[in-house]
Structures are given as C-alpha cells and as structure tokens.
C-alpha cells in the first residue's frame, strides 16, 4: 500500500474463525482492523472506528442481517460513501446466489461487491486495494 494513512477495515461476521483469520491477514498487510460479531455491534463500531471499507456477512443473526446492515450504513449521510464488500456462503449453503454482478443487484444489496465464501485471502486483498485506492482517487 502506498501513502502514510493506514486504512481502517471493519469486518462484520458471526463466524469467529473468519474474523480472526481475516483480521490477522489484513493486519499483517498494513491495515487497521476492527471486528464485530453482529449487525448491531458493527453499527456501533462504525461511529468510533470510522472504517474506510466494510466487509460484511450476508447472513448473521437473521438471514437478512447483512442486507439490513448495508441499508443502515448507506442511508446514514456520514457513512453512505463507505464501500461495502459483502461476503456470503449462501451459494454453497442454500444454493442461492444473491448477486449476479448486475448493477441492479448492487442497488438492492447496497454493497459495492459480493464475494462467495470462502474468499481467497489474496483475492480479498486485491479487492480491498481496488476500493481503497478508488476512494482515494475521488
């Protein structure tokens, strides 16, 4: 990563193994990471942590927790421009993919992108760099 500012990444997921693994990996690659195990905890941490990007699970406490989380983030004027990458195991678990890559999918999910779990860490790193760099260029 270039520049002197360390980007803040918030990971919101109810899978503690994923939280620990991604947090460790991203910290080793120069990111400042906070984690939250629920939608509500994630919404609370946004205020104090001020993430540059959010990784959010699609299904947490409820099947729609990730969508509700994204909606609340995007409807708040303070956080509306924060990029969200949604992570989901739904295609493997229930045979349903909420994301086809279509712009309409991004609109209803209110996430910039959806990645299918398990997400390869190097792929995740490239996506983060893409969105962090994109935000810095605006």
**Strands 32-36 and 8-12, bridge-based pairing:** parallel
Domain presence at residue 138: no
Q: How confident is the model at residue 95, as a pLDDT?
A: 45
Residue 28's domain comprises: 8-131
Domain presence at residue 57: yes
Domain presence at residue 2: no
Q: State the total domains in the chain.
A: 1
What tens digit of pLDDT does each residue of 25-47 get?
Answer: 999 999 999 999 999 999 999 99
The confidence band for 5, taking pLDDT boundaries of 50, 70 and 90, is confident
Between 98 and 121, the more confident residue is: 121
Instruction: Give this prediction's pTM.
Output: 0.84
CATH classification at residue 115? 3.40.50.2300
CA distance 27 to 42: 18
Tokens standing for residue 90: 């739904």
For tokens 């990029």, name the residue: 83
The confidence band for 114, taking pLDDT boundaries of 50, 70 and 90, is confident
The confidence band for 88, taking pLDDT boundaries of 50, 70 and 90, is confident
């Amino acid at each position: 990563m270039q520049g002197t500012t360390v980007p803040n990444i918030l990971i919101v997921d109810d899978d503690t193994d994923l939280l620990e693994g991604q947090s460790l990996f991203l910290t080793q690659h120069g990111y400042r990471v906070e984690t939250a195990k629920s939608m509500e905890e994630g919404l609370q941490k946004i205020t104090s942590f001020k993430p540059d990007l959010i990784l959010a699970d699609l299904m947490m406490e409820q099947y729609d927790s990730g969508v509700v989380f994204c909606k609340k983030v995007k409807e708040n004027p303070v956080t509306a421009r924060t990029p969200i990458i949604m992570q989901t195991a739904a295609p493997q678990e229930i045979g349903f993919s909420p994301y086809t890559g279509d712009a309409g999918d991004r609109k209803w999910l209110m996430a910039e992108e959806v990645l299918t779990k398990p997400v390869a860490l190097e792929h995740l790193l490239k996506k983060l760099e893409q969105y962090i760099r994109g935000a810095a260029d605006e």
